[in-house]
Amino acid sequence: MRSRPAIEKRFRLTRTGLFIAWAVISAVVVFGAVRSAGQRALAEVMQKAGETLAVQTETLSGVLDKYRLLPPLLSRQSSIRALFIRDAQGNAQALDARRTVEEIAGMSAALDVAFLFPDGEVLAHARGSFVRAGEGLPQLIEVARQGRLGRAALSLGGNQRTYAFSSGVRRDGKLIGVVVVYVDFYRVEAAWALSAQRIFVTDRNGTVFLANDPAWRLKPMSSLRKAGQPGSYLINGAFEERLDLTRRLPVLDWDLHVLANPTPVATARLSAASIATLACSLLGMIMLVALRRGEAAILRARSDRATALRLERVVRDRTRALSVTNRSLSREVDVRREAEDRLRKTQAELVQTAKLAALGQMSAALSHEFNQPLAAIRTYADNATRFLERGAASEVAGNLSRINSLVDRMAELSRTLLSFSRKPGATIGPVPFGTILEEALLLARPRARAAGVAIEVGDTVGGLLVQGGRIRLGQVFVNLVNNAIDALAKTRDGVVKIAARQVDDRVVVMVSDNGPGIAPEALGKVFDPFFTTKGVGEGIGVGLSIVDNIIRDFDGTIAVSNRPEGGACFTISLRGATGVEQPVEFSPGTTDRDVVA
């Protein structure tokens, strides 16, 4: 089996070879794409320029052919020949001739039309400066004298350019005059100006005769080309590369040029290069990712195989140790089960101890609660003896009735004490909240009276049912009321208020007082075990922890907060229950400050 460094070296060589192959193939692809795109773009540019060249060639030829035929046609008309006949005084019909040339020039849109005598004398002309300047007239008359169609490209500098055609007027075979028609190129150049391409005509000397750029007209081509670079032309004050398409006009001895802009070719090549490079790069990245994944899979498989072998050895080594550990763990599990059982028993005993501690705290007040009825019973019994001696039977019956009431009160108090001190069961079911609260207050009232604290119960308590255990719920409210009494022991006019209401399927109970409240830093700790704010020897801090655990056992919640007007408020939420409850009579709004006389 090969080692990991050897495999990685083989992978590096493979990656290097693939990279070289990718680079060569990418270069070939990019070169081919650039070349193909350039050829296509060049063909398209040349096609458009060729179409423009063909159209403008036909346009220029059509314009010149129209004016080329006009002089021979005019020279053969008898009305035109009659204009050259002189009278006896040697005068020709100059006025009629002037009117005729103006009509012909206006109808044909020629630059000018002129009638000349063979000696060069002007009979009439419509307009223009070429006739007045006499530019090219000798040549045109001489060719007409020979019986041929005369033609000449004429210019007076600036923007004055024309092409003139001439034809001789003969009578009885004798030359009596010459008709000259001057071509107007304004409309031709105006049409060329609409084209984005540079269009111009050069004569035999290489001078630009016609152009859609006024700056080029009547300038030699040598001044419009960059020296040593025939394809670079002066465009808008700077030399730019152009493609020159030329067509020869042999009859006129002119060359018609169309300069095509090669920028689309360069743009097409750049776009093709970018796209091809991007495609090759993307393909290379995909190949690289696939290769690296393959390498990672191979290395991972080898690593997994090596790990599996190591694990097999480790498993064999540790199986023996685990068998020993399992036996020791079994013994430890048994020990922990015994510890948990002891913990549960200790917790139950702690709850019972807390209840007994609460009974101990209430013992002084309860002794007073018992001593008062006993003293009253003794008084009523002594009175009954005296009434018997006197023979007042009706008064004896009244005293005995009062003694029975006091005995019932003491029996109810004793029964509640026995029920509270008994260990609670685990049964949970619907219980009347009013009954639970009345039993709890029966135990708490004596201590409240001794401390001068009033207990007020809301008027909605008697008709509520909750899910829970009767004895444990009683312990909750005994602890809460006793804590409130302790907080109010050093205050005057202390009041403990108990209110309850039904909210959907929950019963919300609030136990509040008007004492000093709980310090803000202690609000989050009051339910922690062994946390207390009382002095040393006054409490061990397990009462509220027991209350929290009991409420949680009944799927309820308890929270504590400080009231804005002063004092603490415990809010308890219990699951509501449905069932039949015997109503418990409370006196809402009354207090328990009264002491039995």
pLDDT digits (tens, 9 = 90+) for 28-59: 988 888 888 888 888 888 888 888 888 888 88
My answer on whether 94 and 212 are in the same domain is no
Q: What's the number of domains the chain is made of? A: 3
Residues 529, 544: Cα–Cα separation, whole Å:
8
Q: How confident is the model at residue 90 (pLDDT cuts 50, 70, 90)?
A: low
pLDDT grade for 561, boundaries at 50, 70 and 90: very high
Q: Is there a single domain that holds both residue 48 and residue 138?
A: no
Give the pLDDT score at 357. 61
Whether 166 is covered by a domain: the verdict is yes
> Looking at the structure, do residues 144 and 194 belong to the same domain, yes or no?
no
d(CA 560, CA 480): 11
Specify if 552 maps to a domain: yes
The answer to whether residue 314 sits within a structural domain is no
Phi, psi of 30 (to 5 degrees): -65, -45
Do 180 and 114 form a contact (C-beta atoms < 8 A)?
A: yes
- Same-domain status, 192 and 246: yes
Considering the domain architecture, whether residues 193 and 159 belong to the same structural domain is answered as no
543 touches 527 (CB < 8 A): no
Range(s) of the domain holding residue 88: 76-184
Question: Is the four-CA dihedral 307, 309, 311, 317 of positive or negative sign?
Answer: negative
Residue spans of alpha helices (H) in 422-542: 433-451, 470-487
pTM for this model (two decimals):
0.43
Are 25 and 127 found together in one domain? no
Do residues 504 and 536 share a domain?
yes
Name, in order, each residue with C-beta under 8 angstroms of 367's C-beta and a sequence gap of 6 or more: none
The verdict on residue 132 lying in a domain is yes
State whether 100 and 49 are in the same domain.
no
Instruction: Work out whether strand 454-457 and strand 495-503 pair parallel, antiparallel, or are unpaired.
Output: parallel
The band of 525, judged by pLDDT with boundaries at 50, 70 and 90, is confident
219-246: average pLDDT: 81
Closest CA to 217 of 240, 195, 198, 232: 198
For 304: left if phi > 0, alpha if psi spans -120 to 50, otherwise beta; the answer is alpha
CA-based angle 98:99:101, to the nearest 5? 65
Nearest to 119 by CA among 164, 178, 169: 178
pLDDT band at 88 (very low <50, low <70, confident <90, very high): low
Of 146-155, 275-284, 338-347, the range with the lowest mean pLDDT is 338-347
Query: Residue 242's domain is classified under what CATH number?
Result: 3.30.450
Does pLDDT of 228 surpass 70? yes
Given this model, what pLDDT does residue 409 score? 57
Mean pLDDT of the chain: 80
What's the distance, CA 468 to chain centroid? Answer: 52
- Using the 3D structure, point to which of 261, 295, 325 is the last residue of a domain: 261
Query: Higher model confidence: residue 580 or residue 271?
Result: 271
Same domain, 93 and 206: no
Query: CA–CA distance from 260 to each of 42, 52, 271 (Å)?
Result: 10, 10, 20
143 plus 239 within the same structural domain: no
Give tens-digit pLDDT for 142-200. Answer: 888 888 888 888 887 667 788 889 999 988 888 889 999 988 888 888 888 888 788 88
Phi, psi (deg, nearest 5) at residue 118: -55, -25
- In sequence order, the 6+-apart residues with CB closer than 8 A to the CB of 87 are none
Look at residue 472 and tell me if it is in a domain: yes
pLDDT of residue 375: 63
Residue 1 in any domain: the answer is no
Q: pLDDT, tens digit, for every residue of 361-370?
A: 556 545 655 6
The verdict on 200 and 109 lying in the same domain is no
Residues 131-137, mean pLDDT to the nearest whole number: 80
Are residues 146 and 17 both part of a single domain?
no
> Does residue 22 belong to any structural domain of this protein?
yes
Mean pLDDT, range 82-93, rounded to an integer: 71
Q: Domain boundary residue among 261, 280, 311?
A: 261
Which CATH number goes with the domain that contains 100? 3.30.450.20
- Residue that finishes a domain, picked among 241, 261, 281: 261
Evaluate if residue 532 carries a pLDDT over 80.
no
pLDDT of the residue at 440: 80
What gap in Å lies between CA 134 and CA 391, rounded to an integer? 181
Task: List the CATH number of the domain containing 525.
Answer: 3.30.565.10
Contact 75, 168 (CB under 8 A): yes
Question: Which of 137-146, 232-241, 313-322 is least confident?
Answer: 232-241
**Would strands 506-513 and 495-503 be described as parallel, antiparallel, or unpaired?**
antiparallel
Over 80: is that where the pLDDT of 359 sits? no
